[in-house]
Amino acid sequence: MESPVKYAKSGDVHIAYRIFGDGPRDLVLIPGTLSHAELYWEDPAIDYLLKRFTSFARVIVFDKRGQGLSDRVGEQTLEERSGDVRAVMDAAGSERAAIFGWSEGGSMSLLFAATYPERTAALVLYGSVVAVKGQSWSWSDEQFQQFLGLLETHWGEGILIPINAPSRSKDEAFMRWFGRLERASASPGSILTLFRNNREIDVRHLLPSIHVPTLILQRIGDKVVSVEEGRYLAEHIPGARYVELPGDDHALQAFEQDVLDLLIDEIEEFITGTRHRPEPDRVLATVMFTDIVGSTERAAQIGDLRWRELLGNFHAAVRKELGTFSGREVDTAGDGLLATFDGPARAIRCACSVRERVRALGLEVRSGLHTGECELVDDGVAGIAVHIGARVAAAANPSEVLVSSTVKDLVGGSGLRFADRGVHSLKGVPEEWRLFAVQ
């Protein structure tokens, strides 16, 4: 979504902000540890969240001081950061707004709501930090120092993903993008300062002073901000509404589509009184995920220029096979590709053909396929069927075309043969699934 970057003045600090949409009410978004007024909002999940929000609000986003496109600063207080919210609202011409803060952005959202209730129409918190030290959910000092060491050594490599979104830690393209976001958001020195400052956060004394409508959202298995912390918030903010969401990943970028929709539905209903999720177009399709095995090592071996050329040849080869087997390219994410087919047998034969064709390029791929009802969203697809397809691909071995039992059952009589790979638990997917490798 297009929107120019503007700057608000908070004291002597310039705060970068953007405005999306022109809805009847204002909604200010305060992200967690990382923010970049341009790059952050390019992620597909965050872009989808933003589009849903603009259907009922004018959305204001900004980079916290010291991060992204805002002025770099050293030490900073919650009071200064809360003042930045007010400065951005003033610059955007917003007298009163709903405040949605998540993760590390939750504490400054709480302070703003307590300090400026006349300017806070509602407060929404997701996975928000209450107190960092001395609680049952807190890290020990030793654990914290070990974490700082990892940050300093690996900052800019996607180091926050194994902690914030473990389900995406094997997604090489996502790790590269997130590493870029880390580098764009803050330098190693500034991020260490931020975490040391955050170590002192304790907003428990503020909670009884929150007298605006408050919604608290918390994932049950969150390893960064525990469900215990979310429940504490709900118990100590007068009249707060509390909703627990399924799943383990903390980062919004890693939310499954159905859980992301649930989060947005809860926020929309809380702010507007109704839910208006657009009814998606649905179609039965076979999804195929294909990605290159060992892409990071190969890229490091041959260099960026040669790797980009090889990646271009890879995508060209896959697209040729998609044309042959009537597949539709949906998305390319770095070294992977998602496509859909209206027939599972053609999808299997395409995956096998791709495997053979790219061997001539010196590449090895793995593929995963599943058939189910998919939601058509813009030019892409979404829904649990897509999620299952991705999980099947993640379980495939190098040079293997792995399919769900649904796919196998649908191609009976086609002459295709399969080897049973046993029952698997697919992360984030209900029940267990039997998977089969195409022979």
Residues 6+ apart with CB under 8 A from 359: none
Q: Which residues sit opposite 62 in a β-bridge? A: 17
At 55-78, the pLDDT tens digits run 999 999 999 999 999 998 877 888
pTM (global) more than 0.85: no
Query: Residue 280 has what pLDDT?
Result: 57
Once rounded to an integer, what is the mean pLDDT over residues 378-401?
88
The answer to the question of residue 154 being in a domain is no
The pLDDT, as a whole number, for residue 4 is 94
Question: Is position 184 within any domain?
Answer: no
26/95 same-domain check: yes
Which of 272, 304, 331 is at the close of a domain? 272
Angle subtended by helix axes 304-324 and 344-359, to nearest 10: 140
One domain, residues 369 and 429: yes
307 and 257, same domain (yes or no) = no
| Residue 189 placed within a domain | no
Are 263 and 386 part of one and the same domain? no
Residue at which a domain ends, from 272, 302, 333: 272
What total number of domains does the chain contain? 2
pLDDT at 203: 86
88-104 tens-digit pLDDT: 999 999 999 999 999 98
Confidence of residue 171 (pLDDT cuts 50, 70, 90): confident
In this structure, the answer to whether residues 262 and 321 fall within a common structural domain is no
Q: Indicate whether 177 belongs to any domain.
A: no
- What confidence category does residue 304 fall into, taking pLDDT thresholds of 50, 70 and 90? confident
pLDDT at 272: 94
State the Cα–Cα distance between residues 6 and 20, nearest whole angstrom.
12
Q: How confident is the model at residue 278 (pLDDT cuts 50, 70, 90)?
A: low
- Quote the distance between the C-alpha of residue 392 and its chain's center: 20
Residue that is last in its domain, among 237, 272, 307: 272
The span from the CA of 183 to the CA of 266, in Å, is 32
What phi-psi label fits residue 405: left (phi over 0), alpha (psi between -120 and 50 degrees) or beta? alpha
Structural domain contains residue 151: no
Comparing CA positions, the residue from 175, 200, 19, 207 lying closest to residue 97 is 19
Which of 52-61, 94-103, 303-312, 421-430 has the lowest average pLDDT?
421-430
Do 288 and 209 lie in one domain? The reply is no
Question: What is the domain range of residue 105?
Answer: 6-144+196-272
In a domain, 428, yes or no: yes
pLDDT band at 279 (very low <50, low <70, confident <90, very high): low
Please report, for the domain that includes residue 323, its CATH number.
3.30.70.1230
Tell whether 310 and 418 lie within a shared domain.
yes
Q: What is the pLDDT of residues 114-151, one digit of tens each?
A: 999 999 999 999 999 887 666 776 778 888 899 889 88
76 and 217 both lie in a single domain: yes
For residue 11, give the CATH number of its domain: 3.40.50.1820
**Cβ-Cβ contacts under 8 Å for 234 (sequence gap 6 or more):** 216, 240, 241, 242
Confidence class of residue 23 from pLDDT cuts 50, 70 and 90?
A: very high
121 and 265 in a single domain? The answer is yes
Residues 267 and 139 in one domain: yes
Same domain, 228 and 309: no
* pLDDT level of residue 167 (50, 70, 90 thresholds): confident
Pairing, β 432-438 against β 401-404: antiparallel
Same domain for 252 and 311? no
**Amino acid 143: pLDDT:** 86
pLDDT for res 295 = 87
